[in-house]
A and B are shown apart, each in its own frame.
Chain A
Amino acid sequence: MKEEGKRRIWSDYQKEIADDHFFYVRSCIRQSFFPGSETFFLNFMRNVLGKDVYENPSHTTCTGIGYHSDIVPLATIMTVVARHFALMKEAGYKNIAISCVTSFGIYTEILETWKHFPEELEKTREYLFKATGREFDIPENMAHTSDIIYKFRNEIAEKGKYRLINRLTGEPLNVVEHIGCHYAKMFPKSGVGGAEFPNVLAGMIDSWGGKVVDYPERRHCCGFGFRQYLVQANRGYSVSNTSKKFASMKPYKPDFILTNCPGCTMFMDKWQYTMKEMNGEVFGDNGESIPVLTYEELAGLVMGYNPWDLGIQYHMVQSEPLLRKLGIEYDPDDKFRTKDGRQMPVPENLINA
């Protein structure tokens, strides 16, 4: 493989990412399943980098889940998105930082629709005004939070305590990176590095000392897809797609998987448990499962934050093997304790624990 070839492609797909003054819109799923992620992002941006990240408590879900499940019609979701832009305008912000990849896909898709069909933009202005009395502007810059962490990856590398190197062997860790489909596949120009060789996560891994694994099914969808999993009978389709990816990455013995989409993280994590229970299959080395991390969780580990503060114990696949490889110290007793020391119930079927 020739790295210069990839670098040439990355330079073709340079994306403009804003520097400061972000209006932050949260993700529905990530707050429940990856509780440390958004907290880390805000903490890092505000306290470590001193940036201005503004949150408006009356921002709602983007309704992407509903839209992709055929429950929320296009006109509604356009109005909801317009309302967020109106909140941005009222607070004086022009840059939006989006936490979820599905959300990112929605915003990109809607902005493109408004560009090609200006009558839809006019209709949305009308709907929003009639419903809420609000007016909005189109944001100047739209970035996904993984783009922002990518932009500041060198600062994280500098301030970081740990490198992505296996302490036991001295070799860089093998990292599988997985990009959400709605990040760049829909509009390649909206993603850092385009659709075929995206660089947003690979850049982070490179900068933090790891080795990116390029395996045959790298581009394949993880199998998340609202219709696939909302209906129980369809979940076989979803888990089969995930299984295909895992079978393809297994020979490379990845140390962990890094993703930027909440759905992908959730599924690549949870379906490992499901496949283990269904037919005993595990895809990591030595009969282990592969820990799946969000980019904020990884950034947090690199910066030396307490793993339990980052919430990685709430994944299905436990990350202790990875923590040992990284040389990060953790207190096993503290894992399921609250901040003020009370013991929480310990889950039964932990994988990799």
Chain B
Amino acid sequence: MVNFGFTLLKGRQIDYDKNDRSLAEYILLQEPSFSICFECGGCSATCTAGNFTPFSLRRLNILIKRGENEEVGREISKCMLCGKCTLVCPRGVNTRNVITLTKKAFQKNIGNADTI
């Protein structure tokens, strides 16, 4: 194969239909309050880890819902489980449990992403 000095770029468009949402389904089943997150960002604002890393629970919740499990796998270990997000949430989502369930899911190989 010829190298012309440039490569084909990997698209960054989310292909909703190709993504695997088994992780989202698992969490929804175990923690029904996950469904009422309306992505306000209150959790990310107060997050301890978010001060110094790009970790954002708001963003993570959406990534889970879309099935972008690889990025979830990379980010999930940054959460320090302090629980400040659960205090803030205006909808009453059990955010801390969403984190623990995600880690559990990866250990069971649901969502096919590796966790540290």
Is there direct touching of A and B in the complex, by C-beta distance under 8 Å?
yes
**A interface with B by C-beta (< 8 Å):** 232-237, 239-240, 243-244, 274-275, 277-280
CB distance from B27 to the nearest CB of A (A): 32
Whether the pair A243, B6 counts as a contact (CB closer than 8 A) is no
Bound form: Cα–Cα A163–B27 in Å: 59
User: What are 30 A-B residue pairs whose CB atoms fall within 8 Å in the complex?
Assistant: A232-B5, A232-B6, A233-B5, A233-B6, A234-B6, A235-B4, A235-B5, A236-B6, A236-B7, A236-B8, A237-B9, A239-B6, A239-B8, A240-B8, A240-B9, A240-B11, A243-B8, A244-B11, A274-B4, A275-B8, A277-B1, A277-B2, A277-B4, A278-B1, A278-B2, A278-B3, A278-B8, A279-B1, A279-B8, A280-B1
**When chains A and B are docked, how far (Å) is the Cα of A289 from the Cα of B11?**
23
Residues on B close to A: CB < 8 A? 1-9, 11
User: What is the minimal beta-carbon distance from B45 to any residue of chain A, in angstroms?
Assistant: 35
From B3, B6, B7, B11, residue with most partner A Cβ within 10 Å: B6
A residues near B6, Cβ cutoff 8 Å = 232-236, 239
Q: How far is the CB of B2 from chain A (nearest CB, A)?
A: 4
A313 to B4, CA, bound (A): 24
Min CB gap A213→B, angstroms: 22
**Chain A binding surface SS class:** helix
Complex CA distance for A62 and B5, rounded to whole angstroms: 31
Contact A278 B9 (CB under 8 A): no
Across the two chains, which residue of chain B brings its CB closest to A239? B8
Dominant SS at the B interface?
Answer: loop
Minimum CB–CB distance from A126 to chain B (whole Å) comes to 44
Cα distance A230–B73 in the bound complex, in angstroms: 39
Q: How far is the CA of A237 from the CA of B12 in the complex (A)?
A: 12
Residue of B with least CB distance to A240: B9
* Residue in chain B with minimal CB distance to A232: B5
- Which residue of B is nearest A279, CB measured? B1
Complex CA gap A236/B7 in Å reads: 5
- Cα–Cα distance between A240 and B6 once the two chains are bound (Å): 10
CA distance A165 to B8 in the complex (A): 35
B11 contacts A278, CB within 8 Å? no
What residues on A are CB-neighbors of B3 within 8 Å? 278
Give the docked Cα–Cα distance between A275 and B5 (Å): 13
Collect the chain B residues with CB atoms within 8 Å of residue A243's CB. Answer: 8
With CB as the reference atom, state the residue of chain B lying closest to A235: B6
Across the interface, which residues of B come within 8 angstroms of A280, CB to CB?
1
Q: How far is the CA of A236 from the CA of B22 in the complex (A)?
A: 34
8 closest residue pairs by CB, A with B: A236-B6, A240-B9, A277-B2, A235-B6, A236-B7, A232-B5, A240-B8, A236-B9
What CA separation (Å) do A24 and B3 show in the bound complex?
41
| Chain A, Cβ-Cβ closest to B5 | A232
Instruction: Collect the chain A residues with CB atoms within 8 Å of residue B2's CB.
Output: 277-278
Please give, as numbers and ranges, the residues of chain A lying within 8 Å of B1 by CB-CB distance: 277-280
Residues of chain B with a CB closer than 8 A to A244's CB = 11
- Taking the closest CB of chain B, its distance from the CB of A105, in whole angstroms, is 26
CB distance from B1 to the nearest CB of A (A): 6
Name which residue of chain A comes closest to B7, CB basis.
A236
> 8 extra interchain contacts, Cβ-Cβ under 8 A, other than A243-B8, A278-B2?
A233-B6, A239-B8, A240-B11, A244-B11, A274-B4, A277-B1, A279-B1, A279-B8
Residues of chain B contacted by A237 (CB below 8 angstroms): 9
Q: Which residues of B contact A236 (CB under 8 A)?
A: 6-9
Complex Cα gap A244–B6 (Å): 16
Residues of A within 8 A of B7 (CB): 236, 278
In the bound complex, residues from chain A placing their C-beta under 8 Å from that of B5 are 232-233, 235
- Chain B residues lying within 8 Å of A274, measured Cβ to Cβ, are 4
Nearest-neighbor residue (CB-CB) of A243 within chain B: B8
